[in-house]
Amino acid sequence: MIDAVSNATNAYLSRMPKARRKTHGQFFTGQNTARFMAGLFSPERFGGDLSILDPGAGTGILSAAVVECLQKHSSVKRIRLVCYETDPNVRGILESNLRFLADRSAIPVEWELRTENYIASQADTYNHSLYAAVNPERFDLVIGNPPYKKLPKDALEARAMPDVCHGAPNLYFLFAAMALFNLKADAEMVFIIPRSWTSGVYFRRFRERFLRDGALERIHLFKSRDKVFGQEEVLQETMIVKIRKSFRKPDRIVLSSSETSEDFSSLQTLELPYSVVVSGSDSYVFLPTSHEEAATLRKLAGFKETLPHIGLRMKTGLTVDFRNGEDLRNSAEAGAVPLFQSRHIRDGHVVFPVGKPHEYIMARQPALLQRNANYLFLKRFTSKEERRRLQCGVYLARQHPGYPLISTQNKVNFIGGSTDLPDKIVFGLYVLFNSTLYDSYYRILNGSTQVNSTEINAMPVPSIDAIADMGGELLRCRDMSEGTCDRILESYL
Ligand SMILES: C[S@@+](CC[C@H](N)C(=O)[O-])C[C@H]1O[C@@H](n2cnc3c(N)ncnc32)[C@H](O)[C@@H]1O
């Protein structure tokens, strides 16, 4: 069944330009991935009559995979399949594929193709389902590869689901939230989606809702980001999730990973406590792919504080260069203050000036100025090739006398400023953020190369006293290396 659907999909792909498909957020699941996804359901848990939903069905490869997989389950007696697809270019193929499926299936399949917008058409039901008069449609299994498309915040779909949006949403997580809504209690969904929802403030409302109403049971990660959709070039980091609609969370969760979607035969599998994977006040989802990474999460889970809990907070630098071009200066002059940037962070210290353009800014705008106090500076951007994601430097106010105020470029983050941080605390913070453990932890939490202050502020840290002690040790040994930081941190874990 999948082969036939796949052939029809390839024929469509060869005649439909990618740019046209992109306007629908359209890229298709490969055969192996579709089979793997369908195999994650537990159909034996349900009765003989199974209802299945495939929202954004494309050419129907995921429906074909589920129907094919269900042939092996003697408990399944009848299938009702509902597909949504809005793109008229693909609908003809989908319809003939669904007809083909129903003809070939050993289990009777009753199918329905809906051409309306999956999200907007359910806006009323979604927002008023608590009223008895509104009776939402619910399914046993939902399988999906949702459209990936950024929407304006006043888009029809965004307005249909205000409870999960924070600013401009992406269609993919609206599909995931609606799919969960469309499940019966205790029923299952399997989705292939980008990884981006697992951290970050934009996805927070979605994440909290999704993980409150649903229990994450299985995660599959692709290590190589470019081979997931077979011949489709998709540069998103993607994952497959299986979720049961239940407030009760499992004790453990299975995470598997494979290099590409072409080969699911050699999976690396980890089983971890649910609380290690889904964690923190922001419901982050951590995606370790090895026992070493899982150990990193466990070790830091022993620290119960966060920076804001201990009266500190990482913030993003204040000056955006291109908006303040006329105030930038190449050298010190009356009325100008140092503008600290990523390039000043060197080997754990802040080196200034380095003889490059725009190292000073006129002190005209109060919003761009901060006290000349002790800080820990942390680069916001590093390249994929760099060994460390977290790269920081200690800034000591006394090394820059004569400036009551300074400024920081928005490509650095900083901790400090609101209170005077003693040297020991700044050096203690350096021990944390220059350690291998914190660098690994951040990578597991966030796959991108950007270091966001929101995520840093949610990371577990030791008590302020312990941080000061660590700083004291570092000052005594006068060695800012990663190895020394690791050794000092180790004794506090
Ligand atoms: C990423 S593709 C996946 C197609 C198919 N499920 C697969 O796995 O190959 C998403 C599909 O959703 C369709 N789509 C986009 N927006 C939609 C909406 N609001 N309602 C229903 N379908 C939509 C697109 O036309 C596209 O075919």
Per-residue confidence (pLDDT) for residue 78, from 0 to 100: 97
Per-residue confidence (pLDDT) for residue 10, from 0 to 100: 79
Q: How far is the CA of 449 from the centre of ligand 1 (A)?
A: 29
Tell me which residue of 180, 30, 41 sits closest to 197, measured CA to CA. Answer: 180
Q: CA Rg, the chain, in Å? A: 26
Q: How far is the CA of 84 from the centre of ligand 1 (A)?
A: 8
The answer to whether the CB of 171 falls within 8 A of the CB of 148 is yes
Q: How far is the CA of 151 from the centre of ligand 1 (A)?
A: 15
pLDDT in tens, 313-370: 999 999 999 999 999 999 999 999 999 999 999 999 999 999 999 999 999 999 999 9
Per-residue confidence (pLDDT) for residue 27, from 0 to 100: 83
Per-residue confidence (pLDDT) for residue 15, from 0 to 100: 77
Average pLDDT of the residues in 135-144 = 93
Predicted confidence (pLDDT) at residue 434 exceeds the cutoff of 90: yes
Average pLDDT of the residues in 104-133 = 90
Sign of the CA dihedral with 174 first, then 176, 177, and 180 last: positive
- Closest atom of ligand 1 to CA, residue 85: 22
Mean pLDDT of the chain: 92
Task: From residue 200, give the alpha-carbon distance in Å to each of 204, 391, 433, 445, 450.
Answer: 7, 20, 19, 9, 11
Residue 448: pLDDT band (50, 70, 90) is confident
Q: Residue ranges per domain, the chain?
A: 2-289, 308-490
Element counts in the chain: helices (H) and strands (E): 16, 22
Query: Does the structural domain 2-289 have CATH classification 3.40.50.150?
Result: yes
Q: How far is the CA of 87 from the centre of ligand 1 (A)?
A: 8
Average pLDDT of the residues in 369-385 = 95
Average pLDDT of the residues in 254-258 = 93
Domain 308-490, CATH number (from 3.30.70, 3.30.870, 1.10.10, 3.90.220): 3.90.220
**367 contacts: CB under 8 Å, gap ≥ 6:** 318
Tokens 């922001």 appear where? 282
Average pLDDT of the residues in 477-488 = 96
Q: How far is the CA of 106 from the centre of ligand 1 (A)?
A: 27
Per-residue confidence (pLDDT) for residue 197, from 0 to 100: 93
Give the span between the Cα atoms of 244 and 144, in whole angstroms.
14
The answer to whether the CB of 220 falls within 8 A of the CB of 257 is yes
Give the span between the Cα atoms of 246 and 250, in whole angstroms.
10
Pocket test for ligand 1, best of 118, 151, 170, 173 (most atoms within 8 A of CB): 118
User: Atom 2 of ligand 1 has which residue's CA nearest to it?
Assistant: 26
- Closest atom of ligand 1 to CA, residue 117: 20
Q: What tokens appear for 165 in the block?
A: 């949006």
Give the span between the Cα atoms of 463 and 297, in whole angstroms.
18
Pocket test for ligand 1, best of 21, 26, 62, 151 (most atoms within 8 A of CB): 26
Q: How far is the CA of 107 from the centre of ligand 1 (A)?
A: 26
Residue 413: pLDDT band (50, 70, 90) is very high
Per-residue confidence (pLDDT) for residue 281, from 0 to 100: 67
Give the span between the Cα atoms of 298 and 276, in whole angstroms.
7
